[in-house]
């Protein structure tokens, strides 16, 4: 039936296969790669440039590798599967085992304290702006929470921007960009935790939360403009963090801003990637 459905859909528009499990999905990927190699030769898969990939030279992550040829791609798939995304056998350190451990810890905590609640009463569908009529959304209007939500979404947008520039060509400060993005993720986590403990609106029985709004103008900038833009944006968020955000967040944002050059460079000077 799945094969019949695929034929009816055609094959010109890229789509994912019909799989019941994530393990089947990765099996399909292996088969597709093998078919590509058989039809076009493995040389057709060779990456001509590693600029848009992260390698161990950029960041230290276990089993991280740049994909240069078919064998690399197959080994990368195997690593993903072994870590828990569809393995056919049990692994003590796989994702599934970790989730089981969390479940057992929760059960133990409840047994010791039946009133234990490990989470805030955060809204599952918060929004920063007034939703359209009829939509089941929680509009965050409590002033302190609304201001922190605005900051948190701006922080999220900048984190995405740093990650986007990590894969751009022509920038000489890739490690700086990766480091900054990783640090901002921790700042975002602290901001989200703070929001989840704040009422979403006056008299509301649910709390606020990050909405992870993606900037509409998210794109990479030319190398001669990127660092200056990022630095100026970070400096603006530093000012907001000092007023609105938890101390941990403000400290991290300050550290990341300093990665991109001295504070006095804002409004003048040259991009840090050229220094």
As a whole number of angstroms, the distance between CA 165 and CA 198 comes to 33
b vs e for 173-205, b when ≥16 Cβ sit within 10 Å of the residue's Cβ?
bbebbbbbbebbeebbebbbbbbbebbbbeebe
Give the pLDDT band of residue 113 (cuts 50, 70, 90): very high
Q: How far apart are CA 244 and CA 119, in angstroms?
A: 22
User: Residue 100 pLDDT > 50, yes or no?
Assistant: yes
232 CB-near residues (< 8 Å, 6+ apart):
266, 267
**Cα–Cα distance, 259 to 32 (Å, whole number):** 42
pLDDT over 60 at 186, yes or no: yes
Q: Torsion angle of alpha carbons 64, 69, 71, 72, nearest 10°?
A: 0
> In this structure, are residues 77 and 31 in contact, taking their beta carbons and an 8 Å threshold?
no
Q: Which of 21-35, 100-114, 140-154, 175-189 has the lowest mean pLDDT?
A: 21-35
Q: Which domains does the chain have, with CATH numbers?
A: 2-82 (no CATH), 91-118 (no CATH), 126-274 (1.20.1260)
Q: Which helix (H) or strand (E) holds 127?
A: strand 126-127
The number of beta carbons lying within 10 Å of the beta carbon of residue 136 is: 7
- Tens-digit pLDDT profile for residues 197-210: 999 999 889 999 99
**d(C-alpha 164, C-alpha 230), whole Å:** 12
223-255, pLDDT tens digit by residue? 778 878 888 899 999 999 999 999 999 999 999
């Amino acid at each position: 039936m799945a094969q019949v459905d695929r034929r009816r859909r055609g094959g010109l528009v890229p789509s994912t296969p019909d799989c019941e499990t994530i393990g089947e999905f990765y099996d399909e990927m292996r088969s597709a790669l093998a078919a590509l190699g058989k039809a076009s030769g493995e040389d057709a898969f060779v990456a001509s440039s590693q600029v848009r990939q992260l390698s161990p030279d950029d960041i230290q992550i276990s089993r991280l590798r740049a994909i240069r040829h078919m064998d690399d791609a197959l080994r990368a798939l195997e690593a993903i599967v072994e870590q828990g995304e569809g393995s056919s056998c049990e692994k003590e350190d796989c994702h599934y085992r970790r989730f089981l451990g969390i479940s057992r810890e929760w059960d133990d905590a409840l047994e010791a304290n039946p009133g234990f609640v490990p989470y805030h009463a955060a809204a599952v569908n918060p929004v920063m702006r007034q939703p359209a009529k009829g939509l089941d959304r929680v509009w965050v209007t409590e002033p302190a929470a609304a201001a922190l939500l605005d900051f948190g979404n701006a922080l999220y947008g900048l984190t995405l921007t740093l990650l986007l520039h990590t894969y751009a060509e022509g920038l000489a400060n890739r490690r700086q960009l990766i480091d900054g993005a990783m640090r901002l993720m921790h700042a975002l986590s602290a901001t989200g935790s703070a929001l989840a403990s704040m009422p979403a609106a006056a008299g509301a029985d649910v709390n606020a939360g990050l909405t992870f709004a993606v900037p509409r103008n998210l794109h990479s900038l030319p190398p001669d403009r990127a660092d200056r833009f990022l630095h100026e944006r970070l400096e603006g968020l530093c000012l907001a963090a000092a007023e609105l955000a938890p101390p941990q967040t403000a400290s991290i944002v300050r550290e990341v801003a300093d990665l991109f050059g001295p504070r006095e460079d804002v409004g003048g000077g040259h991009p840090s990637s050229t220094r």
